[in-house]
Amino acid sequence: MLEIAELENMEPFGTQPPSGRLGNVQRLPEAVFDLSFSFYFHPKRGYNRGHMRKFIRIALILAGSTAIPASLCAQPSRGVLAPPAPAADSAIGLGARIQFNTENHDAGTNLAGDPIRYTFVVTNTGDELLVLSNVHASCGCTIIGGTMPAAATSAGGTVPGASTTWSHEIAPGQTGIIPIQVITSSLRGPINKTLTVTSNDRMRPNVTLHISAVVWLPIEVAPAMATFSVQPDATNANTQVLSIFNRMAAPLALSDPQSNTNAFSAVLKTNVPGQEFALTVTAAPFSHPPSTLGMTVVQGEITLKSSATNRNPLTIPVFETIYPEITVFPPNIQLPPGPLAQSSTSRLNIRGNTANLTLSDPVVNAPGVEVAVMVMQTNRQYYLNIVFPAGFEARTNQNLALTVKTDNPHYPAITVPVMPVPGMALPARPAVRIPPARTNLLSSSVRVRTAAQAAATNVPPSPPNPAGRANTQP
């Protein structure tokens, strides 16, 4: 430590420092000593030796503490290993990475009937081959791949669009495509369709893509078609009103509704000029019932002249279903070919849809076949059980049939054909196991004990007598 005497003999700052320990003191920053002398030195009384000694000690400590970190930074520590540098991404390997130009495509407003076409662009941003193993759409109206739109030529013609499919393998840094088509024939209003892309991307093995759009009709008919269900004894005409709305900016003009069959007729009424219309469709009653025992479907269409160029004429389909007077189900009786290995029972349902119905004299034109009639609803519904015996064989050239008489004047007899069906087999009957007869309820080794024997057995045993102790009564 520096002595005060040495300090008194120090040269002013900025001169040549003396040799010895004072040279170490002179290495301190000049600002420290300037501050010390200005603080502790008094012009008349000089300086305080005790205070000055303490200040020099503090200055030396501060000088050493600032020098040590600098030396540590300048010289690496021996025996201490520096932490390893992080490995580069290329050393680890990214693998296959899938990236799309967009995962949510908005197709905007589209006319119903026009397909929505779009191509998703796929980029492999990884360093391995990207494999698209599957592309699955959420509904049948979305088709993966297909024919792209036709291209126009300079001569004014068009070139048919090429048939494309989705890319199955994409090299690193390369792009592929997933073309899609949404069929809009049966779509209306806002729609949102999805498809799922499965790949070997470890981070995103399944990616869901969305296609949203609004499908609209320039002329909307609600409901889209007229349908009728008619009983065979109906005498009144059935009517249905359809509303027609103009969704275009320009006013709509409709006129002259025509039917392509005399089973239907139509009358047009204007509710709001150029915007809303009402079409009344009428199904005329039949003058005679159908000759078949099955349902009869009559199909037609109503056409109207329209001022809309893309909907002229406006066509509205019409359907009419006529129920028969008598319903027979099933319409035929089916048997397996060849002789029956076991007896077979078929059931027939016969129902009257109009007036009361009575059945009688059911018979099959083959020996050994039994027919039983069960009434499920009086004068309305019947079940017929037809039992074919084992060994019975139905041949195609036999014209086998079940015949039953009715009290309906239009159908005095009902005939249901019996036909063999190649490849048909009867269901196997479950095997029935008969348990063996039980002769003895108890085994010969089991003895029947009397009540006294049972009571004696239930007496608890006496405790053991310790050795050397006599049995004495208290």
The domain made up of 93-148+162-216 is a member of CATH 2.60.40.10: yes
- Whether the predicted pLDDT of 202 surpasses 60: yes
* Residue 414 reports pLDDT greater than 80: yes
Nearest-angstrom CA–CA distance, 165 and 248:
36
CA distances from 251 to 26, 188, 218, 219, 254 (A): 103, 21, 11, 11, 10
Please answer whether residues 120 and 177 qualify as being in contact, where contact means their C-beta atoms are separated by less than 8 angstroms.
yes
pLDDT number for residue 112:
84
| Cα atoms in the 13 Å half-sphere on the side-chain side of 402 | 29
Q: How confident is the model at residue 87 (pLDDT cuts 50, 70, 90)?
A: very low
Question: What secondary structure letter does DSSP report for 294?
Answer: S
Q: Please give the pLDDT value at position 356.
A: 84
Residue 322: pLDDT band with limits 50, 70, 90? confident
241-255 average pLDDT score: 92
Torsion of CA 245, 250, 254, 259, to 10 degrees: -60
* Element (DSSP H or E) covering residue 456: helix 451-457
| Least confident stretch, 8-17, 266-275, 422-431 | 8-17
Fold of 219-322: Immunoglobulin-like (2.60.40)
pLDDT (0 to 100) of residue 48: 55
Q: What is the DSSP code string of 379-421? A: TTEEEEEEEEPTT----TTS--EEEEEES-SS-SEEEEEEEE-
Q: Do 266 and 282 contact (CB within 8 A), yes or no?
A: yes
pLDDT confidence tier of residue 245, bands split at 50, 70 and 90: very high
Determine the Cα angle at 179 with ends 176 and 182, to 5°: 160
CA distances from 453 to 40, 192, 281 (A): 123, 87, 97
Q: What's the rounded Cα separation, in Å, for the pair 67 and 88?
A: 37
| DSSP, residue by residue, 19-74 | SSTHHHHHTS-HHHHHHHHHHHEETTTEE-HHHHHHHHHHHHHHHHHHHHHHHHHH
Half-sphere exposure of residue 331: CA atoms within 13 angstroms, side-chain side? 5
Is the confidence at residue 254, as pLDDT, over 50?
Answer: yes
Q: Is beta strand 163-164 parallel, antiparallel or unpaired with respect to 146-147?
A: antiparallel
Model confidence at 244, pLDDT cuts 50, 70, 90, reads very high
Reply yes or no on whether the pLDDT at 30 is more than 90. no
Per-residue pLDDT, 61:
64
Q: 3-state DSSP: the chain helix, strand, coil percent, rounded to 5?
A: 15, 40, 45
Beta bridge partners of 194: 210
Model confidence over 335-353: pLDDT tens digits? 888 788 888 899 999 988 8
Judge whether residue 161 has pLDDT over 50: yes
Name the strand (E) or helix (H) holding 451.
Answer: helix 451-457
Is the domain spanning 326-420 CATH 2.60.40.10? The answer is yes
Alpha helices in 41-155 (DSSP H): 49-74, 89-92
Check residue 102 and give its pLDDT: 95
User: What is the reported pLDDT for 82?
Assistant: 52
What pLDDT, in 10s, does the model give residues 162-185?
557 889 999 999 999 999 999 998
More confident residue, 258 or 454: 258
Residue 446 has pLDDT above 50, yes or no: no
Choose among 48, 66, 46: nearest CA to 56: 48
Q: Is the dihedral of CA 67, 69, 74, 78 positive or negative?
A: positive
> Which residues have CB under 8 Å from 16's CB, separation 6+?
none
Q: What is the pLDDT of residues 261-315, one digit of tens each?
A: 988 999 999 999 999 999 999 998 776 666 677 778 889 999 999 998 878 889 9
Of the candidates 326, 328, 330, 306, which has an alpha carbon nearest to the alpha carbon of residue 316? 306
